[in-house]
Amino acid sequence: MRNRFYSDHRIMFHLFLAALLFLATPVWAKDWHELQDLTDVQLSEKISGFKERLEQNPSDFEALKALGIAYHIKARKDAKKYAPKAVKYLTRAYEINKKDYETVCYLGSATTMMAKTTWNPIRKMSYVNKGTGLMDKAVRRDPNNVSIRMTRAGNSKSLPSFLNRGEIAFEDFEYLADLIEKNPESYSLIKKEIYTNLAELYKKAGDQVKVEKFRKLADSQ
């Protein structure tokens, strides 16, 4: 009886730990913007944590996705070093859940960054075409997802003008600005970034009226 008592309690304890892990995991998926706001040191610490999680469970979708996004952020400063890592983990996450369109969009964005890892113009265009295709697919499937729109908008804005992605950037940032106008309190964390990007895009387009409008909105945040 005594052995059975301890055995039952061990089972209950492990079930309790499993429940805690199950509840803790989705936190990573809910607030990706928190990763964006971290310093390089903090982001590196997060990456170490995500890797430890994967050592326990190599098929942990949330850990793979979080790790891919963390490397995607680092790839903005050093694509040659971090874009391959972002693609690696986001691809693994995508293979587990092909209907998570945030993962699809980040994978697309990271894939376009791979163009910076090669000198070959054909391979460069292959990466860009594949990546933009994935981002566009994500927006078609989940058009109201703010994270997806922000990712595609920022990526499209950064691509060379001859690729004609400027209109896509306009479309996404204007869409997000409309969301802010309808519900300003819900998007307070991204207001300044959206307005600043729109001011820069309209400056390139030569629309000084819109430039002043969005600069004022950005400065008021």
pLDDT below 50 — which residues of the chain? 1-31
DSSP string, the chain: -HHHHHHHHHHHHHHHHHHHHHHHTTHHHH-THHHHTS-HHHHHHHHHHHHHHHHH-TT-HHHHHHHHHHHHHHHTT-HHHHHHHHHHHHHHHHHH-TT-HHHHHHHHHHHHHGGGG---HHHHHHHHHHHHHHHHHHHHHSTT-HHHHHHHHHHHHHS-GGG--HHHHHHHHHHHHHHHHH-GGGGTTTHHHHHHHHHHHHHHHT-HHHHHHHHHHHHT-
Within a domain: 177: yes
pLDDT of residue 32: 57
Within a domain: 204: yes
Q: Do 73 and 99 belong together in one domain? A: yes
Within a domain: 96: yes
Domain stop point among 104, 120, 144: 144
Count of domains for the chain: 2
pLDDT of residue 29: 37
Report pTM: 0.82
pLDDT of 123-166, one tens digit each? Answer: 999 999 999 999 999 999 999 999 999 999 999 999 998 999 99
pLDDT of residue 24: 32
pLDDT of residue 55: 94
pLDDT of residue 22: 30
Within a domain: 196: yes
Q: Do 185 and 139 belong together in one domain? A: no
What range defines the domain where residue 173 resides? Answer: 159-221
Q: Do 119 and 200 belong together in one domain? A: no
Q: Do 37 and 110 belong together in one domain? A: yes
pLDDT of residue 18: 31
pLDDT of residue 25: 32
Within a domain: 11: no
Q: Do 133 and 163 belong together in one domain? A: no
Q: What is the CATH number of the domain that holds 119?
A: 1.25.40.10
Within a domain: 2: no
pLDDT of residue 2: 43
Q: Do 91 and 166 belong together in one domain? A: no
Q: Do 78 and 179 belong together in one domain? A: no
Q: Do 39 and 131 belong together in one domain? A: yes
pLDDT of residue 186: 79
Q: Do 104 and 42 belong together in one domain? A: yes
Q: Do 173 and 119 belong together in one domain? A: no
pLDDT of 73-89, one tens digit each? Answer: 999 999 999 999 999 99
